[in-house]
């Protein structure tokens, strides 16, 4: 008889809650968690393909050490002890000669990131970085420059919106089940969708109005919208007066950018631009100018994302029902915070980051994610110091950092490349050691906090035993640390130890997850008081149209 296991998908970065049906230690079916509102048992095609990933015999099946030139595909199968000893011995020599800062750790942000950051702090390196900077660094900068919050701390209230404008965000061909369902429900209740894109996508065909814009001119459109909103005084005056700083400067800046000017730039008629501004204003504050999902890396992109956030600010839709909101965590629900091993006391790290993020070289970059675009430069030029080892945990520098040839040339200078991965990625194929991770169906991970209007906790449970000789990353990292005499920073043996540690201040037990796979921390919708309770993290405590961060 099949048993059900509630877990979290990891076929993409969305991490939808799932129910896995298991029989004879094999997965028979995967579906969305039927207990989660907005999911209702649904799962995208990629999530359903987890069955194929489980039985993929082309993924790494055991630890391997390279025997031929890098990238040659010449390996020898080794035991876990041999592989871990090899990595630890190499790291000991590198750290002894060049210091802990000579080791860098790049990863796709995941539920165990607090553990990998703990490892880096334990060896004395500031150089943990994530894929986020390559994926959406410009969007991160835009949000921080205006509000002090990162884009990851912002959510979209699709289900209650009355008017939503999307720029190339082809949501109806995307993988996010819950936002799609919530938006469709809102549209059934009368919400209007305006879609702006050079391409006619599925989302364009579902929109109430589709505007075919000339590629690369979105910023011109937004400046004309802002011009119209200010000229016709369509903005939320009370909200702007209370929470927005720099309106006069904005008004002077957009003065030349009329709808007629934007028509010549964008190909969208001036009358359409004016209509869009008026319709959005009529629905405020339940309005969303969607700020996008991922972003490119150039100044125009930062200003485009800033303009979208500014439009939301003028509509008064930031921290509004049907608009945008800042995600609330366990503390906002009256709970303690979830614990992380990275919050321990560590020896002080004196070396600066290798990538200059958050410091003199790139003060505007978010140091919590780093600036991996500087990896090749730092290695080749030994600037600000020698970098001798890279640990890549499902992070792909050869396919995500611009100029792969330069990155490959830089990697050749390293004494050690370690790949913790579930497949033969480019960096795994180029590594010195592959430490194969169990896939998400074969492992459990640290608990996930879902911050939002109603914060929740989710748990990834192991559904089946590993098909091959693989291990979870939280165990791999601990076992390397033990060989470096740093095991005291990883005081756990099992995933249950990690869960119990995380939950110490939450008033929640592991057993609370059993019935539905998640724990709701409140049944109340948590929005801050729009009169006096919004907590912007800027120096002024307001949305700064003239950014203190960017100016300084």
Within 8 A by CB and 6+ apart from 462, the residues are 5, 7, 441, 442, 443, 444, 495
Q: Which long-range contacts (CB under 8 A, 24 or more apart) does 475-483 make?
A: 476/84, 476/420, 476/435, 476/437, 477/112, 477/115, 477/116, 477/119, 478/115, 479/80, 479/84, 480/84, 480/87, 480/88, 480/91, 480/119, 481/119, 481/122, 483/84, 483/85, 483/87, 483/88
Maximum Cα interatomic distance, the chain, rounded to a whole number of Å: 71
Q: What angle do CA 391, 395, 396 make, to 5 degrees?
A: 110
Q: Note the pLDDT of residue 296.
A: 81
C-alpha distances out from residue 256 to 345, 357, 474, Å: 54, 35, 55
- Judged by DSSP in three states, 420 sits in strand
Tell me the Cα Rg of the chain: 25
- Predicted TM-score (pTM) of the model is 0.95
User: Would you give the distance in Å from CA 314 to the centre of its chain?
Assistant: 26
Taking alpha carbons only, the member of 158, 314, 293 closest to residue 244 is 314
**Residue 512 β-bridge partners:** none
Helix (H) or strand (E) holding 391: strand 389-393
Q: What is the pLDDT along the chain (552 residues), one digit of tens a residue?
A: 789 999 999 998 889 999 999 999 999 999 999 999 888 889 999 999 999 999 999 999 999 999 999 999 999 999 999 999 999 999 999 999 999 999 999 999 999 999 999 999 999 999 999 998 888 889 999 999 999 999 999 999 999 999 999 999 999 998 889 999 999 999 999 999 999 999 999 999 999 999 999 999 999 999 999 999 999 999 999 999 999 999 999 999 999 999 999 999 999 999 999 999 999 999 999 999 999 988 887 889 999 999 999 999 999 999 999 999 999 999 999 999 999 999 999 999 999 999 999 887 888 888 889 999 999 999 999 999 999 999 999 999 999 998 999 999 999 999 999 999 999 999 999 999 999 999 999 999 999 999 999 999 999 999 999 999 999 999 999 999 999 999 999 999 999 999 999 999 999 999 999 999 999 999 999 999 998 899 999 999 999 999 988 887
User: Would you give the distance in Å from CA 241 to the centre of its chain?
Assistant: 32
Q: Note the pLDDT of residue 546.
A: 95
**Residue 163 β-bridge partners:** 192, 287
Calpha distance 397→392 (Å, rounded): 8
Q: Note the pLDDT of residue 158.
A: 97
Q: Note the pLDDT of residue 528.
A: 95
Neighbours of 255 (CB within 10 A): 11
Question: What confidence tens digit (pLDDT) does each residue in 340-366 have?
Answer: 999 999 999 999 999 999 887 888 888
- Dihedral angle at the C-alpha atoms of 397, 154, 7, 525, nearest 10 degrees? 180
Q: Note the pLDDT of residue 299.
A: 85
Within 8 A by CB and 6+ apart from 8, the residues are 15, 16, 17, 18, 111, 440, 445, 448, 458, 459, 460
Q: Note the pLDDT of residue 306.
A: 97
Calpha distance 134→362 (Å, rounded): 15
Within 8 A by CB and 6+ apart from 177, the residues are 16, 32, 38, 39, 42, 43, 44
Within 8 A by CB and 6+ apart from 73, the residues are 429
Calpha distance 449→111 (Å, rounded): 9
């Amino acid at each position: 008889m099949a048993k059900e296991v509630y877990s979290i998908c990891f076929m993409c970065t969305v991490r939808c809650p799932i129910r896995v049906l298991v029989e004879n230690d094999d997965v028979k079916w995967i579906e969305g968690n039927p207990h989660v509102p907005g999911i209702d048992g649904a799962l995208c095609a990629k999530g359903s393909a987890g069955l194929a990933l489980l039985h993929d015999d082309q993924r790494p099946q055991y630890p391997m050490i390279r025997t031929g030139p890098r990238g040659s595909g010449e390996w020898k199968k080794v035991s876990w002890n041999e592989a871990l000893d090899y990595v630890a011995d190499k790291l000991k020599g590198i750290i002894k000669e060049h210091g802990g800062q000579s080791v860098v750790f790049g990863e796709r942000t995941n539920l165990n990131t607090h553990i990998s950051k703990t490892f880096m702090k334990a060896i004395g390196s500031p150089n943990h970085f994530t894929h986020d900077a390559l994926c959406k660094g410009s969007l991160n900068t835009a949000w921080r420059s205006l509000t002090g919050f990162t884009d990851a701390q912002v959510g979209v209230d699709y289900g209650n919106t009355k008017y939503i404008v999307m720029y190339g965000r082809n949501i109806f061909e995307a993988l996010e089940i819950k936002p799609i369902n919530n938006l469709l429900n809102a549209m059934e209740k009368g919400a209007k969708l305006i879609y702006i894109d050079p391409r006619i996508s599925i989302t364009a065909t579902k929109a109430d109005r589709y505007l075919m814009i000339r590629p690369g001119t979105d910023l011109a459109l937004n400046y004309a919208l802002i011009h119209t909103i200010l000229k016709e005084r369509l903005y939320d005056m009370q909200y702007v007066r209370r929470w927005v700083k720099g309106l006069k400067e904005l008004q002077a800046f957009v003065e030349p950018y009329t709808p007629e000017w934007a028509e010549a730039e964008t190909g969208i008629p001036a009358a359409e631009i004016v209509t869009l501004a008026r319709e959005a204003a009529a629905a405020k504050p339940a309005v969303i100018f969607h700020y996008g999902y991922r972003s490119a890396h150039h100044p125009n992109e930062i200003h485009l994302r800033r303009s979208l956030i500014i439009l939301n600010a003028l509509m008064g839709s930031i921290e509004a029902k049907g608009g945008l909101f800042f995600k609330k965590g366990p503390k906002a629900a009256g709970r303690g915070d979830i614990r992380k091993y990275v919050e321990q006391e560590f020896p002080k790290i004196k070396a600066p980051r290798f990538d200059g993020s958050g410091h003199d070289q790139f003060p505007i970059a978010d140091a919590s994610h780093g600036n991996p675009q500087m990896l090749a430069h730092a290695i080749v030029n030994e600037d600000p110091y020698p970098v001798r080892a890279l640990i890549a945990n499902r992070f792909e520098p050869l396919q995500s950092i611009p100029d792969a040839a330069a990155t490959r040339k830089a990697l050749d200078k390293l004494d050690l490349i370690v790949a913790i991965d579930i497949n033969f990625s480019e960096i795994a194929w180029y590594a010195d050691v592959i430490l194969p991770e169990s896939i998400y169906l074969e492992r459990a991970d640290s608990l996930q906090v879902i911050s939002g209007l109603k914060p929740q906790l989710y748990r990834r449970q192991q559904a089946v035993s590993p098909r091959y000789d693989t291990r979870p990353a939280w165990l791999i990292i601990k076992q390397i640390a033990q060989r470096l005499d740093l095991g005291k920073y990883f005081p756990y043996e099992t995933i249950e130890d990690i869960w119990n540690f995380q939950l110490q201040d939450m008033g929640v037990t592991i057993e609370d997850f059993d019935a539905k796979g998640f724990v709701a921390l409140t049944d109340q919708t948590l929005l801050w008081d729009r009169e006096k309770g919004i907590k912007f993290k800027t120096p002024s405590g307001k949305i700064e149209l003239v950014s203190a961060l960017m100016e300084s």
